[in-house]
Chains A and B, each alone.
Chain A
Amino acid sequence: MFERLGDAVKQRMKRWTEGMIAPDQLPQLTAIARTENEYGVDPFGFSLEFALAAVAPLLWLYKFYFRVETHGVEKVPAGRVLLVANHSGQLPFDGAMIGVAMLTEATPPRAVRSMVEKWVPTLPYVSTVMARSGQIVGTPENCRRLLQAEEAIMVFPEGARGISKLWSQRYQLQEFGLGFMRLALETQTPIVPIGVVGAEEQAPALMDVKPLARLLGFPAFPITPTILPFPLPVKYHLHFGEPLTFQGLPDDEDAELEKKVKVVKGAVQQLIREGLRERKGVFF
């Protein structure tokens, strides 16, 4: 009975999604399912049927709440690619919006994979939702395998440092990790920098109650005017940059990798700067 209820909800959500996208995009979307087996999943557990249902509320946020404007999505090359963006907003709506943009605005549409924390598979329901919608535990081995399968992977090299930044740090890129550069060099993957404008103002955090965060095992415990870090209806702008390719040894010294990472960071910063200059206001 529980299962039938789940199926009914899934069908309704899927119809909601279908109602929000242009009818000529549907056949293209269905083509994403090419690697699925007779049970409707790909080897990693992604299911297009499930993803199209799960994306409905995010698509609604994309169209009607954040009113996302996407610039330059056509610059994302076919085949393997790492999408590198700034991370902010306390809750990862930035990642979700990039995912929706790639699914509904890119031609052909692409289901972006993102790498989740290792504790996600220990969470009931969350683990299943994540797996069916294409989110995978962030081991280097998984990342390598997906790139070799010509997938698009989203990376936030700022990690938790980025998403939990305070109001006073908005649009200031935090330290970038180096892992993504090693993988890009190893698998010869182009990197597309993305500047996300808007998300940094969605949940202004005035302070981070660190002892409480430690107590709860959270990366941060932000205090926002809305108490919970519920996002404000800011207007999102996603600026996709030109793909960058790097040559070098993946196991080079950190100093060498840092130079390359700096180029990517610079590109993201530049996209943000231009985006901020172009936009008319935080909410419009």
Chain B
Amino acid sequence: MSLDRQRPAVLVTGIAGNLGRTLTKTLHKRERVIGIDRRPFPGRPKDVEMHELDLRKKKAEEVFRKNEIRAVIHQGIMHDPRMSAEEHHSFNVLGTTRILEYCAKYGVKKLVVLSSANVYGPSPDNSNFLTEDAPLMAASRFSGVRDLIEVDMLANGFFWRHPQVETVILRPVHVVGPNIKNAPSNYFRIRRPWVMAGFDPMIQLIHVQDAARAMIEALRPEPKGVYNVVGPGEVPLSAVHRELGRTPIPVPHPLARSALNLLFRYRLASFPSPELDHLQFLCAVDGARWVKEVGWKPSYSMRETIRSVVPDTAGT
């Protein structure tokens, strides 16, 4: 055990979240894992060292000082539309700034930052498949995602300024899974979901296990830079609803926006109205670069990925 203490570790931020826990389940079998999160980590594997603290606090630096950290997986990014904009912004942007600072200061060799394909933003003039060099336009229609774009850009700047750290920025498509509570997974759990009348965009989903596997793949020495990560492909939104046996309610889009605004304000809905853009326009990406450089192949089929949002029918 004392020998194991000396082994360089992989630090995971936001480890107590659903994606973090899924990631840890696989990762701790091959790496020494240290986790940071403000939340407790129930059911934590015994060999995972856990620090219940806020990234923005000075104490976080101690974790870097006291351990040899070989790699950092920074996926502790908050997406909570109910949180105050100020706290949301501070947690994501300041937290990321600190992590980047420590990576440079303590000679971390590999940094993996989990961004999202949502940074491009759904829009009527999007190409069908956006590549990594497409502009990050999401905030032009939805200011709530500004800090997510900022996190992505911070990591990008870091990639250029610190060539000694192999930085990987992953932009996966919508992550779904049995325990995932993000907007797309929650939306697909609604029995009678809204759809925008007359719109049926192609969407891309990735299973949470595949998203976790992508982060582990990113620890390999070859990948560097920004990568879109695509799951088993693309399907029309309506096909997902049909697969899940849903009965969607078509709502005219101008009406839907103002209605959802009201519902969100009075806490009758958990989706802010700009999310409706995802039901109306394309925000699909080209994952060819990631496929080529790490030989990526998702392990869940489209059908399995779609069905995974319903806990009963999912295997894992």
Chain A contact residues, CB within 8 Å of chain B: 2, 37-41, 43-45, 118-128, 131, 136-137, 139, 141-142, 145
Contacts and interface: CB of A to CB of B under 8 A. Distances in A.
Interface string B194-205: 001111101000
B202 A2 contact: no
Interface in B183-200: 196-200
B282 interface: yes
Nearest to A120: B124
Q: Is the interface of B mostly helix, strand, loop or mixed?
A: loop
Contacts of A40: 239
B124 A39 contact: no
Given A38-B302, A41-B239, A121-B125, A127 B198 contact: yes
B235 interface: yes
Nearest to A123: B198
Given A121-B281, A128-B199, A142 B127 contact: yes
Task: Across the A-B interface, give the 4 residue pairs with the lowest CB-CB distance, nearest first.
Answer: A124-B198, A125-B198, A121-B124, A141-B127
A118 B124 contact: yes
Contacts of A123: 198
Given A41-B202, A124-B198, A127-B199, A145 B239 contact: no
A31 to B, nearest CB: 21
A120 B126 CA distance: 12
Contacts of A121: 124-125, 281-282
Contact of B234 (A43, A118, A126, A136): A43
Contacts of A124: 196-199, 252-253
Interface of B: 124-129, 131, 196-200, 202, 233-236, 239, 243, 250, 252-253, 281-282, 302-303
B198 A37 contact: no
A137 B234 contact: no
12 contacts: A37-B302, A38-B303, A41-B202, A41-B234, A44-B202, A119-B124, A121-B125, A124-B196, A124-B197, A125-B198, A127-B198, A127-B199
B283 to A, nearest CB: 12
Contact of B235 (A39, A122, A136, A142): A39
A41 B240 CA distance: 13
Contact of A145 (B128, B202, B243, B303): B128
Contact of A41 (B129, B236, B282, B303): B236
Nearest to A40: B239
A162 to B, nearest CB: 23
A139 B124 contact: no
Contacts of A44: 128, 202
A125 B252 CA distance: 11
Contacts of B128: 43-45, 136-137, 142, 145
A145 B302 contact: no
B158 to A, nearest CB: 28
B250 A2 contact: yes
Contacts of A142: 127-128
B252 A43 contact: no
A125 B238 CA distance: 13
A141 B282 CA distance: 14
